[in-house]
Structure 1
């Protein structure tokens, strides 16, 4: 009994650290669109290449610092097929994010990504027949309605259907990665995402027309890869282990909420009316669903579990 009581303050401190780290990861990811708008490189594949290179370099350095060289190599060896699949999903999603920025507004991309936790629940039900509550189905319906409102502008030519299609693909790939991560909880996410950045860099290198960029652009590419992508992944992979999945998902929704705000404040890119309306529907559906999930997990005998939603 005494040991249990004495462990409670430590657990509380760990949870607070987890809250802070996951919120900081969402904050880092929300800066992606703002940083990208500063980059003058016309070739999107060159942007993908340098962003992925800087992110991979940071993640390798982070794991080497945290786990040591041998520990880092062991993490990569222990990933197996689940880690490889997550890496492929992440490489696809991170590449599509950069390319989509050339076709559609940041708000469209980020707000569509807000539905990742619910898409993951739907995929879990379809693939593994995991039970999905009525509240989750209602929230999924809300997300579908919200996304439909957002992409309806494509029919009138206001927004490129290519950009919206890539944004939907991003959300889908992140959802698949989340389902795999939950199904194979023993797989460490940091080396898998690091491998994903390496895959993205290799593919981008085969598509880019040139790699030379100005010192100014290289500075923003460094920030795009390290601060936005690498640091965000490191924060989340560390913090998500310390708090329930529902709370992590709730904190993760700060990314699609803050992202369009930064772009609006810094670059004056005002989201369209349909994007705002659809985004509000998506965010409300998420907050209601996660709030109900928090209540469910807080009941006696229904402890929360930890999980990792997808990053930008």
Structure 2
């Protein structure tokens, strides 16, 4: 009677891999689409954020038409906190796009998983394993190499915005885990604040987007699809496995920008980024392996 469970579990795992891979791959074209739109900072943020909010409301409304079991758009005080953190992360992210290279941005954003581990240790009393602590220090060295390369080049402000964005995303993840609530729609509704701010600033500075279709595609399709898939990945996969798909943006976004805009990363950026990516991959693989060993040990202690 237990034999059929293996194919079912395997199919569930494959479904999770396909869903999360789709989300990760979709996210890799976020920055190239922003660059292709060829617009000013504030109007780009306004259109991208406004369309994401609109898409979230449409999805939520349609879902509600067919089912009453729909997550709240912003679940309570924790939901407001998460939305606020994601909102600030969105603002700093767009600022980083316009003030540093794509390679620097995505490499530094990859640091958010280590920020999340640190915040969980401090606030949730989830003490990281020694391997995680070592990985955090190695990644910190990688970020310092990237940021150090930007001193005196005009990219330092953008790198600091990217670092702030990584920290804010990690903070939002920590609050979400502490609340144990479904924050999927809160993450999408968070961009309402950047939309209002960007709309006010656009009214003052003027509207310029040379190729608006690219940013419409980004805000209305790419961002909702990417975050929907990635947010649902943990239903089918372990946390470390899901985290590995976020690395797709770190690896592929600079490649797309290099191919489209001929923006080659600097040697120090490549060195620092390689340290970040290699450390994240090694740490994620270690977590997966350690998790499987723990499950196997538990199964031996408590055989079915």
After superposition, the C-alpha distances for 1:167-219 in whole angstroms (9 at most, x for unaligned) are 0001000111111222222x2222111220212212222222367556x6321
Distance 1:72 1:264, change over 3 A: farther
- Note the residue ranges of structure 1 that are not aligned, 5 or more in a row: 304-312
- The match for 2:286 is 292
Match of 1:241 in 2: 235
Matched, 1:224 2:207: no
Offset, 1:74: 5.5
Normalised TM-score (structure 2): 0.90
The alignment yields a C-alpha RMSD, in angstroms, of 2.1
Supply the distance in 2 between the matched residues of 1:174 and 1:70 (Cα, whole angstroms).
30
Residue number among 197, 200, 204 corresponding to 1:206 in the alignment:
200
Superposition pairs of residues 1-312 of structure 1, within 5 angstroms: 2=1, 4-42=2-40, 44-68=41-65, 71=68, 75-76=72-73, 79-155=75-151, 157-185=152-180, 187-208=181-202, 209=204, 212=207, 217-301=211-295
Q: State the TM-score, normalizing by the size of structure 1.
A: 0.88
Aligned residues: 296
Q: Tell me, yes or no, if the aligned pair for 1:17 and 1:239 is still in contact at 8 Å.
A: no
CA distance in 2, matches of 1:184, 1:11: 28
Secondary structure (helix, strand or coil) at the match of 1:129 reads coil
2:56–2:189 contact (8 Å) kept in structure 1:
no
Q: State whether residues 136 and 289 of structure 1, in contact with CA within 8 Å, keep that contact through their aligned partners in structure 2.
A: yes
**Structure-2 separation of matches of 1:65 and 1:116:** 33
- For the residues of structure 1 that align with 2:66 and 2:199, how far apart are their CA atoms? 27
Gaps of 5+ in 2: 298-304
CA contact (8 A) 1:146 1:279 kept: yes
- Structure 2 CA distance for aligned equivalents of residues 76 and 220 of structure 1: 27
How far does the alpha carbon of each residue in 1:51-105 deviate from its partner, in whole angstroms, 9 at most, with x for none?
Answer: 011111222222333443774875226x112221111111111121112111110
Question: Per the alignment, in what secondary structure is the counterpart of residue 41 of structure 1?
Answer: coil
Note closer, same or farther for the CA distance 1:129–1:24 as it changes in structure 2 (3 Å cut). Answer: same
The whole-number CA distance in structure 2 between the counterparts of 1:55 and 1:242 is: 25
Q: Which moved more, 1:142-151 or 1:217-226?
A: 217-226
CA contact (8 A) 2:60 2:70 kept: no
Q: Would you say the 8 A contact 1:30–1:258 is kept in 2?
A: yes
Distance 2:81 2:148 in 1: 32
